[in-house]
Amino acid sequence: MNYVSGVKTMHIINDFDISMFDDYLIKMMIRGVKVLKKHVPTKAAVMTPGILLKIHDLFDLTSANDCTYWALFTLAFFLLARKSNLVPDSVTKFDGSKQLTRGDFKITPDSLNVTLKWSKTNQAGRLEIFPLLKNEGNKLCPLKAYQKMVNACPADDASPAFLVKRYGKLRTVTYRQYQEKIKSCVLAIGLDPAHFTSHSFRRGGATYAFQCGLSGSFIKKLGDWSSDAYLEYIDCPLADRVEAGRMIRDKINLEHLG
């Protein structure tokens, strides 16, 4: 459909005849292609708090680089963040107007307030503030993870948020390094790294928010989705499906139906 649309657009721009695009055989061909060549998107595995806890125990939080990766993982989960908001594709492609900088984080006594300036659905640069609440004594506390990182790798407000020490210098974590770290950690705890990507945190955050009882419309806002695509990110475990069946069954029995 994208290719056909592109050809049609080219015809329109050049003021060519486009009547053939309404031809019945063309439409039937496209319908046939949809049936024969179904698009089945590959979904990343869901990152869960339980998996995060196992990964936490792999890290040496006296190591500056481990502090950075732990903060990156934790914040990716709680922010439902796209990788484009977190890290650049390469060191030279870091863009402080898109990726998080140290200045985008504000610590309060009770929370870590994160300002996202840009996303693919917010290209006008609308500021969105996400408060991540302090969770005293819990390994999954986002405020604690961030504080450990900035203490281990101090930097000014304009610097990339996630820095690691390489060759004696602080450099931004790149997308490739982020992916490699995810896969190495997942492998180390006995899971298949082929199924986990940076999207696992976004899916995991959305799924956990749903399991906590947050409404679909709020999750959509939280994850900055402009469409209902967020529904594809939410995983519905078998246990939840069984529970849904139980609720329907009990409702039928309660109302003496049948």
* pLDDT tens sequence across 98-147: 999 999 999 999 999 999 888 766 666 667 889 999 999 999 999 999 99
Higher per-residue pLDDT: 68 or 203: 68
Q: Which CATH homologous superfamily contains domain 49-206? A: Intergrase catalytic core (1.10.443.10)
Work out the burial of residue 14: count CB atoms within 10 Å of its CB; fewer than 13 is exposed, 13-18 middle, 19 or more buried.
Answer: exposed
Which residue ranges make up each domain of the chain?
Answer: 2-36, 49-206
- Reported pTM: 0.78
Q: What is the mean pLDDT of the chain?
A: 88
Looking at residue 150, its pLDDT comes to 97
Percent of the chain at pLDDT > 70 equals: 88
Structural tokens at position 163: 């820095």
Residue 76 · residue 198 · CB < 8 Å: yes
Structural tokens at position 66: 């481990």
pLDDT-derived band at 216, boundaries 50, 70, 90: confident
Higher per-residue pLDDT: 50 or 220: 50
Average pLDDT over residues 193-221: 88
Q: Pinpoint the alpha helices (H) of the chain.
A: 2-13, 24-36, 49-56, 64-79, 83-86, 142-152, 175-188, 199-211, 216-222, 238-254
